[in-house]
Amino acid sequence: MLEILTRGFRDVRQYLQGVRTLNEENLSEALAMIRVSLLEADVEFQVTRSFLEKVKEQALGEIVHVSVKFKERKLKVSPGDHFIKLCHDELVRLMGPEDASLDLRRKPVSAIMMVGLQGSGKTTTAAKLARFLQKKGNRPMLVAADVYRPAAVDQIRKLGADLNVPVYSDGGARPPEICSKAMQIASDANCDVVIFDTAGRLTIDEPLMEEIHQIEELAHPDNVLLVCDAMIGQESVNIAKAFNERIRLTGFILTKLDGDARGGAAISIKEATGVPIKFVGMGEGMDRLEEFRPDGLASRILG
Ligand code: GDP
């Protein structure tokens, strides 16, 4: 995963290896190498620019200090390592602050609404999240609110049965009513959190948005999580922006990060929308959902 960025930063590290003085020339060459790598990784142009500006600004401010201290053997890290550390910190800043929290305070039942386009991994992720909450001691219930695709209802029923998580479905009703009714059903069943698996479509369209608004009005979800496919890179960021303009998102779940060679979505999505990544999907298995740690991802990219 994220091979393009890992390779890019490894090349920069190699280029700066043995450099005893960071100067404007080698700094600008290193930044140019990073620029190519970020764009190749499908990081948004604006985000790339802002990243490079921040790193440059800080590096320039420290060039003399770091190089002199290194020569005087007062600094153990080389100027190259120091530069990579600046990149690390800037990546963490871009993707952070860390915020994997969910609002589960409502009694007796809190609600999480999962939204996203078809194929993003929404249904699988709803089940993974149920598993995650179950492990934390919550008593989740899954709600099949994607009624247009019978296969989705079957899929969530099966996933729920495998996990021993109750699933509420009602073929005859409309999704907003299903979600609203699910709150009472969950409370009666002694569950403390419901996860609505809403319908996904191939594109963001009016009926999709209208339905999400209606669910919000009737069931008042405490959390609205957009499930985005990391593998489609910047397109995922565009989808996130479009949703964010229309509904109150509380977070993202970035799926398929395990298969994402580029990393553009992971790096750009928070900076482009202001909405935090809460979780990342790291595989198809039910246990492959992780709380998002910007610092961990930055370390992975920078080696
Ligand atoms: P939906 O249409 O958005 O509900 O998508 P699904 O939940 O049916 O998922 C579509 C495909 O993506 C399925 O084959 C899932 O197993 C797969 N998938 C979901 N999340 C991940 C992930 O984090 N990593 C990988 N490798 N595959 C995933």
CB atoms within 10 A of CB 274: 9
User: What's the pLDDT at 64?
Assistant: 65
Which tokens in the block code for residue 241?
Answer: 């922006």
CA distance 74 to 111: 55
Task: Give the residue-averaged pLDDT of 279-296.
Answer: 97
14-18, 128-132, 264-268: which range is least confident on average?
Answer: 14-18
As a whole number of angstroms, the distance between CA 19 and CA 22 comes to 7
Return the higher-pLDDT residue of 32 and 20. 32
Q: What is the mean pLDDT of residues 120-132?
A: 97
Question: Residue 228, class by beta-carbon neighbours within 10 Å (0-12 exposed, 13-18 middle, 19+ buried)?
Answer: buried
Does any ligand 1 atom lie closer than 6 A to the CB of residue 116? yes
Centre of ligand 1 from the C-alpha of residue 158, in Å: 15
Alpha carbons within 13 angstroms on the beta-carbon side of residue 53 total 7
- Tokens standing for 213? 């608004």
Q: Which atom of ligand 1 is nearest to the CA of 149?
A: 2
pLDDT for position 61: 77
Peptide bond into 294 cis (omega under 30): no
pLDDT digits (tens, 9 = 90+) for 86-118: 999 999 999 999 999 999 999 999 999 999 999
Residue 154: the pLDDT is 95
Tracing tokens 């929290």 back to the chain, one arrives at 101
Shortest-distance atom of ligand 1 to CA 197: 4
284 close to ligand 1 (CB < 6 Angstrom)? yes
CB neighbours of residue 2 within 10 Å: 21
Taking the centre of ligand 1 as the mean of its atom positions, its distance from the CA of residue 286, in whole angstroms, is: 11
Whole-number pLDDT of residue 69: 76
* Mean pLDDT along residues 34-61: 94
Average model confidence (pLDDT) across the chain: 94
Confidence (pLDDT) at 67: 67
Confidence at residue 293, expressed as pLDDT on a 0 to 100 scale: 98
123 lines ligand 1 (CB under 6 A): yes
Question: Residue 242 and residue 115: Cα distance in Å, rounded?
Answer: 12
- pLDDT for 23 equals 87
Nearest to 277 by CA among 226, 232, 238, 233: 226
Instruction: Report ipTM (2 d.p.).
Output: 0.99
* 255 CA distance to ligand 1 middle (Å): 7
pLDDT, tens digit (0-9, with 9 covering 90-100), for 174-188: 999 999 999 999 999
The residue that leads in pLDDT, 76 or 126, is 126
Q: Is 121 in the pocket of ligand 1 (CB under 6 A)?
A: yes
Distance from Cα 62 to the centre of ligand 1, integer Å: 45
**Range 221-236 average pLDDT:** 96
Q: Are 71 and 20 in contact (CB under 8 A)?
A: yes
User: Is 258 near ligand 1, meaning CB less than 6 Å away?
Assistant: yes
Q: What is the mean pLDDT of residues 128-155?
A: 95
Q: Is there an atom of ligand 1 within 6 Å of 120 CB?
A: yes
Mean pLDDT of 246-261: 96
Residue 170 binned pLDDT confidence (cut-offs 50, 70, 90): very high
What is the average pLDDT across 214-230? 97
Tell me how far apart the alpha carbons of residues 102 and 249 are, in angstroms, rounded to a whole number. 12
Average pLDDT over residues 203-229: 95
CA-to-CA dists, residue 127 to 152, 283, 292, angstroms: 12, 13, 17
Whether the predicted pLDDT of 252 surpasses 80: yes
User: Which residue minimizes the CA distance to atom 28 of ligand 1?
Assistant: 284
Mutate which of 143, 255, 260, 288 for ligand 1 pocket (most atoms within 8 A of beta carbon): 255
The one-letter amino acid at 229: D
Q: Other C-beta atoms within 10 Å of 85: how many?
A: 12
Q: Is 119 in the pocket of ligand 1 (CB under 6 A)?
A: yes
Hunting for tokens 């209208």 — which residue is that?
A: 210
